[in-house]
Amino acid sequence: MANNTAGSFPIIAITSGEPAGIGPDIILSTLTEHEFSARFVILADSELLKDRAKTLGLTANIICLEKQDHTIPHKKGDIHVSPITLAQKTIAGTLDVANSPYVLETLKQAGEGCINQKFDAIVTPPVHKGILCETGVHFSGHTEFFQAQCQSPHVVMMLATEAMKVALVTTHLPLKDVSAAITEKSISLVVKALNKDLQEKFNIKHPKILVCGLNPHAGEDGHLGMEEINVIIPTLNKLRQEGLNLIGPLPADTLFTPKYLDDADCALAMYHDQGLPVLKYSGFGNAVNITLGLPIIRTSVDHGTAIDLAGTGKANNGSLKVAIQHAINMANNAKKFSK
């Protein structure tokens, strides 16, 4: 828990996300509509938030924290901002590469604050990966950004709805590189990190994890690909000998059916677009993205920047609400563990 005497609620840092996207909109609408048992620090340009609130017709009380390192418990409508200045005034819906360093700075300060225990968790509204890459720095995702910042050897992307949890062996990787990345080492590290965090962060004593094959029909006994026979099956067998409860590899097209999902705790997909479309079909707008394996707590929304909706008032804030609530719950659990 952050070293702070201002209250017993966790301090949650929320980054603004891409300023031209719906990040500012959903922060404003969520924090003006809902009460939370938390203290918030919004890492954002305060003028951006004031302008967007005006555009959306929201009554938000934007309070700059300046050099203060803590805030007071959340009250609907109050937005406590630790200001970071944009390079260029933002037009909702228009990306501007000049503001990419601002976006990266919000993430850097959020990560540092969590590592230094000034914050208890980070919640990240969406960034636009393409415009960040246009600065010349390769940015594939928050997951990899915080992994590098925390120097974590291995992290796992997991998205969760009420109905299911889906984790990934590989994250933001071009499809042509996926097969080479499915190794005994990568599967073992992901499965162990996933199992540990399902136990510690979700209080599941002996997680049952369904594992997808990589190929159609999980390779059809080698007739449709050899990764299952050469890598996945032997690795899962070794992990089972260590006591992990793993089912599979199952063909991904049948794994995501009630027969398998109903009594499982999590599905593990081999790559981004094998697992996430199913999760989003089942609960887009109400899912949370959690980075497991980090020494800090980080949650995020299930959607992207939705540039087409910025400033229109049509952005759904359901996933941000869920992401914030998960961050609060996980921070409270961590407080219990550390006592």
Ligand X SMILES: NC(=O)C1=CN([C@@H]2O[C@H](COP(=O)(O)OP(=O)(O)OC[C@H]3O[C@@H](n4cnc5c(N)ncnc54)[C@H](O)[C@@H]3O)[C@@H](O)[C@H]2O)C=CC1
Q: Which residues are annotated as a binding site?
A: 142-143, 172, 217, 272, 280, 289, 298
Query: Which listed option, ligand X, ligand LD2JLWAY, none, makes contact with residue 316 (CB within 5 to 8 Å by class)?
Result: ligand X
Nearer to ligand LD2JLWAY, 158 or 182 (CB): 158
Closest CA to 292 of 195, 156, 172, 89: 156
CA 318 to chain centre: 14
Please work out the total of residues on this chain that contact ligand LD2JLWAY, with binding judged by CB under 6 A.
Answer: 6
Q: What is the DSSP letter of 214?
A: S
Does position 28 bind ligand X by CB under 6 A? no
Beta carbons of 65 and 71 less than 8 angstroms apart: yes
Q: Which two tokens stand for residue 194?
A: 């996933």
Distance of alpha carbon 96 from alpha carbon 89, whole angstroms: 9
Does position 275 bind ligand X by CB under 6 A? no
Question: Amino acid identity of 35?
Answer: E
Does position 142 bind ligand LD2JLWAY by CB under 6 A? yes
| CB 303 to ligand X: min, Å | 3
Nearer to ligand LD2JLWAY, 56 or 123 (CB): 123
| CB 276 to ligand LD2JLWAY: min, Å | 5
Q: Which residues contact 258 (CB under 8 A, 6 or more apart)?
A: none
Does position 308 bind ligand X by CB under 6 A? yes
Does position 128 bind ligand X by CB under 6 A? yes
Does position 321 bind ligand X by CB under 6 A? no
Distance of alpha carbon 212 from alpha carbon 235, whole angstroms: 13
Does position 305 bind ligand LD2JLWAY by CB under 6 A? no
Nearer to ligand LD2JLWAY, 23 or 141 (CB): 141
Closest CA to 157 of 167, 144, 147: 167
Query: Which listed option, ligand LD2JLWAY, ligand X, none, makes contact with residue 308 (CB within 5 to 8 Å by class)?
Result: ligand X
Does position 312 bind ligand X by CB under 6 A? no
**188 Ramachandran zone, left/alpha/beta (phi>0; psi -120 to 50):** alpha
User: For the packed helices 184-202 and 233-241, what is the interaxial angle rounded to 10 degrees?
Assistant: 50
Q: Which residues bind ligand LD2JLWAY (CB under 6 A)?
A: 141-143, 276, 289, 300
